[in-house]
Amino acid sequence: MLTSSTMRETAGTQGNDFKKDQAALLQELTTESQNEASQGFDTKSALDIARIINHEDAKVAAAVKRAIPEIAQVIDQVARCMREGGRLIYIGAGSSGRIAALDASECPPSYSTAPGQVQYIMAGGPKALASAVEVNEDSEELGQRDIARRRPTRKDIVVGVSASGRTPYVVAAVAYARARGAHAAAVTCNQGTPLAAAAEIVIVADVGPEVISGATRMKAGSAQKMILNMITTGAMTRLGYVYENLMVNVHMQNSKLVERGIRILMCACKIDREAAVQTIKSAGRSVPVALVMLKAKVDKPEAVRRLAKSDGNVRLAIEDNAMEL
């Protein structure tokens, strides 16, 4: 029978082993390694500092390029999920979580997505966007609890974002969602990580060591932002919220966006400003409705009907012959 002192001793030994395991894992991570290009960084002039950072940043696009096949898989899966009424749910911690929150927050104004279609979960909650609450990222229980509150289903895709690929909060949340039938993807900057093991599709942007060792808000953060931008932009385009290369599903809530909508109509339909303004007014300030009205030469009710039939896909609504409406 174990005494209380023996139990404390055993717990202490297990805790030490855990810390050793974590230390070993960190040492193996590329993002935690020292960068030879920035040796003696603290002795450099401002000009040299800027040049070194810029030289390292130039490697980011190439690292993302190597992950394009996996990025494309996630784009298609997000589009499929959203087409079936599901959600894209990002989950992250620290810098990775803040980047995910930014991408999710940009979708409603850019593509008129419903607030629930693209979501983010941040370790520590919304307050962690502005204040450091990094202690939460070590908790598997909190990760499971936070994703459980969103009730993930087979219609959803959960994307875990973690530069290290080992953040317990994120790994546990992704594993929980996948166990309940949701699709799961990982965005990381290290190979062979626990997050990769928890996901179906793994996007690895191996950007190499940071200029400041472990400062993953730098190259790793830039890579993650590029990847998440590609995922949502690609998915929204596949859903038909982009016509040609124009953001036609723009939500005209301020003067800048109203002007953008007018210019989109002028460009897509080769009309003058007055005609664009009048059509947008008659379309109820909806650029997609106005575009279908002009391109298909139909009235507003017909344009609305076509867009409803095509699930908001503007090109399909315009090219109506194949839809048998």
- Residues marked as catalytic: 106, 137
- Name residue, tokens 């609890």: 145
Rounded (5°) CA angle 244-105-57:
75
Answer yes or no: are the C-beta atoms of 233 and 94 closer than 8 Å.
no
Measure the CA dihedral 33/59/204/161, to 10°. 80
Name the amino acid, one letter, at 287. V
CA distance linking residue 266 with residue 182, whole number of Å: 41
- Name residue, tokens 């030490």: 16
Answer yes or no: are the C-beta atoms of 273 and 279 closer than 8 Å.
no
Q: Please, which residues have CB within 8 angstroms of residue 313's CB and are 6 or more apart in sequence?
A: 239, 240, 241, 307
| Pick from 128, 136, 142, 126: nearest CA to 176 | 142
